[in-house]
Structure 1
Amino acid sequence: MTTYTLHTPIPCHAAICKALNLAGQERRVTLGLDLELNTPAGSLVVAGGQPLNLGKHPRSLWVELVGWLVNQGCEVHCVQEACGFGWEFHRELEGAGAHSVVVAPQELSGKRKTDKRDARMLATLLWDYVSRGNRACLRPVRVPTVEKQQQRGSHRRREQVIKLRGQIASQGRSLLWDHGWLRDLDSWWAPKNWEQLRADLLAAGRTWLVDMIEPMQRMCLQLNGYSEELKKKAISEVKPPKTAIKKSEPGLILNAAEPPRASEEAPAAQVRPKGLGELSYAIIAAEVGDWNRFKNRGQPGSFIGCCPSEYSSGEKQKLGQIDRMGSSRIRTTLVEAAWRICRLNPNWRGVRKYPEELGPQGTVRGARKRKAIVACARMLMVDLWRLHMGTATLEGLGLEPATT
């Protein structure tokens, strides 16, 4: 005798029950969710069958559906694209018992793009990914923990505050220029510069202009103070770890005469070289999250998008400029740090590799020097990974430790 449940909140309850009955012992399902602010669209694949379009529902209802499927003995896999709505929905799905994965956005449904089509394609691709082992159909992204998300939120918010301060400062500068005050107004909102600018404007009889621009100066000053607070917070949240020195990679010399055994307690290794500031290190460490995510030295370079683009066929190989398919925040920070490190650490392997471009007696300028510094930024990322893994020391890499 079949028992029917009426007025259940589960979307398409009858169709899902029918698909589960037809699947028999196969209880693996994949749920594709196309996210939006309030009501994500979903599609369900049961045992590799045709996708069931479940419509659009609140997030709480999708979590309830996952919990109900788990209670029915199903192995539930969920997928959603990374977007600007955070990671809470992913964590809620995992809390309900699902194996949730967040993937990089990609074109799913061609020229006819709808939420319904995208959800259906996500569910189908997830089935290929999970059941058929097709690892090329989706690109999962690493979901940070709540602590790591908060750590990187400080310096990201600081970037936004600095950008907003620059926009307001530009508006004030354009206002002054528009009314004929054609002077150098770099950082006009700074306290000393503002005192002189205000006195000059009042002396010239531009009182009304002072009244218009003074609120902008106060906003810039407040945003500058807020950015300094965020800077201190970002630095305090990320500290260099005490990393045990392991076996050395070929070509790298360790300080210790003998590498410590696995059971021994190795001394703490300094991981911040001279020239890499506290804020720069905090940005890199917060964006990386876990240095153990990299299994070889090629992965850190790929993570920051400093691998060369390639167009090869047959025996011909053509390498181009860097692909930039990685974290732009870390890449920018590393390039800035590489300029300082090359100047303060003349014995570093990056300087030794490009002596004509970056050495103390270097004479090369222009594009060739810029290409060399990008290559050094990639080396710096690899060296930081080695330092965190304990396979190298600052002395072995030709780097001096940071003083603070």
Structure 2
Amino acid sequence: MTIAVHRPEAQPAVRVDLSAIFISLELSQSKWLITSLSPGGGEKLSKFSLPASDVAGMLTRFAELQRKAEARTGRAFPLVVIQEAGLDGFWVHRVLEAEGIESHVVDPASIAVSRRKRRVKTDRIDGEMLVRALLAYKRGDPRVCAMVRAPTPEEEDRRRVSRERKSLTIERTRHVNRIKGLLFGQGVHGYRPLRQDRRKRLDELQTGDGRPLPAQLKAQICRELDRLELVILQIKACEEARDALLAAPHPAATTYTNNLVSAVEPSSPAPSVPVMLLQLKGIGPEIASVLWHEGLSRQFDNRRQVASYAGLAPSHWQSGKVDHDQGVSKAGNPRLRTTLIQLAWLWVRHQPSSALTGWFKARVAQNGGRLKKTTIVALARKLLVALWKYVNAGVVIEGTVVKAA
């Protein structure tokens, strides 16, 4: 006797009632992989590979997808494209937007993946995963992934000065340490390559056993000094460009009073954001440049977004009886986060009467003078939120000392 068993109709693994053509781009230096899901094509994902940077071929493929979808359904469908933020930057995103195509750039670390130790990873699998994430995002799921706000070309270009200066200062330190290491092997101590009289001092040096510096060693150090002096000149040029950018006119900070925007009188124009930052004691040109170009020039909806962008948001861990904090996420902008930690220490030193400094000292005293490094990270988070309110809403930090004009 055969018993009939009712089996519910199998649901498709991928949503097929689409109102657009969803496309993911897997970009590499050798090839681009286009994965698409089109209306009328069922749940099958189409894959197409083309050489890297072949924009014309990519647009031709997009037009072919639209033509086939229209032939199947009799309707024209728009394109929705997603790609990961990576080595290619945002130029492909700008090309798509210039063509009138809806484009999204996603943070690859925000997409959930298998936690197995040896999970399979290929461009084909990643392309399918991006399409599914895009489908969920367009359905209105805000937590499926984090989309990146692409900066304008002007914003991207202004960041380069402070970033180049950072890399040059690292290179300067590398040259200085190399020179000191070469001399240390000969018993020479106290030589300072960054002093103006470095060449003269080099001629006067003697080894630890009383000999003049060997000829080849001295020649190597002279070549290192040549490179060091070039780096010093380039750092100076970057600082001049940085100061010019800070002095350039910027949009004035918007002032809010009782949740209402207050109009700025023409006779008393509001200072630009970099000028507002430079007015605070403890903030110099370099810190003001990083704060403005890396963080405060962006738009945020609330203080949680501000802290998350800098990677200073707390990471809580709770499962069953386990309930503890893991520290800050460090998932945001590393340049902004590093600068904020430095500013926090400077703030305690140069703003002793500030309410934030009082909170820091009280918290350290409560812990018996311990956990200063942990507390300074919390102060950096509070300081970032306070500066964000200061430049956007005109809320002055309590007890802050302003530099003399």
Same fold? TM cut 0.5 = yes
Does residue 246 of structure 1 match 2:238? no
Q: Which amino acid aligns with 2:256?
A: K
The 1:168/1:308 distance shift into structure 2, 3 A limit, reads: same
Shift in Å, 1:288: 1.7
The 1:37/1:380 distance shift into structure 2, 3 A limit, reads: same
Shift in Å, 1:129: 1.8
Alignment partner, residue 88 of structure 2: 85
Contact 2:85–2:106 (Cα < 8 Å) also in 1: yes
| Superposition CA RMSD, Å | 3.1
The 1:169/1:133 distance shift into structure 2, 3 A limit, reads: same
Task: Pick the aligned partner of 1:290 from 291, 294, 297.
Answer: 297
Compare relative contact order (CA 8 Å, sep 6+) and give the higher one, 1 or 2: 1
Alignment partner, residue 321 of structure 1: 327
Q: Distance in 2 between matches of 1:141 and 1:367?
A: 38
Give the length in aligned residue pairs: 363
Does residue 271 of structure 1 match 2:276? yes
- Deviations 1:272-326 (CA, angstroms, capped at 9, x unpaired): 21111121011111112634x2112222122212222212246975334222222
| Secondary structure class of the residue paired with 2:282 | coil
Q: TM-score, normalised by structure 2?
A: 0.79
Q: Which amino acid aligns with 1:386?
A: K
- When structure 1 is superposed on structure 2, of 138-147 and 66-75 the one drifting more is 66-75
- Deviations 1:206-248 (CA, angstroms, capped at 9, x unpaired): 2221112111111011111101211221232245642242125
Counterparts of residues 78-227 of structure 1 (less than 5 Å):
78-106=81-109, 111-130=119-138, 132-178=139-185, 180-185=186-191, 187-201=192-206, 204-227=212-235
User: Structure 1: which 5+ runs fail to align?
Assistant: 1-22, 250-258
- When structure 1 is superposed on structure 2, of 215-224 and 340-349 the one drifting more is 340-349
Alignment partner, residue 354 of structure 1: 360
Q: TM-score, normalised by structure 1?
A: 0.79
Identity, in percent, stands at 23
Shift in Å, 1:70: 6.3
| Secondary structure class of the residue paired with 1:40 | strand
User: Structure 2: which 5+ runs fail to align?
Assistant: 1-15, 71-75
Task: Pick the aligned partner of 1:49 from 43, 51, 63.
Answer: 43
| Secondary structure class of the residue paired with 1:134 | coil
Shift in Å, 1:68: 5.6
Contact 1:90–1:102 (Cα < 8 Å) also in 2: yes
- When structure 1 is superposed on structure 2, of 46-55 and 70-79 the one drifting more is 70-79
Does residue 343 of structure 1 match 2:349? yes
Contact 1:53–1:120 (Cα < 8 Å) also in 2: no
- Deviations 1:100-136 (CA, angstroms, capped at 9, x unpaired): 1111124757722222221222122212222x32332
Task: Pick the aligned partner of 2:310 from 300, 304, 317.
Answer: 304
Alignment partner, residue 13 of structure 2: none
Q: Distance in 2 between matches of 1:315 and 1:391?
A: 44
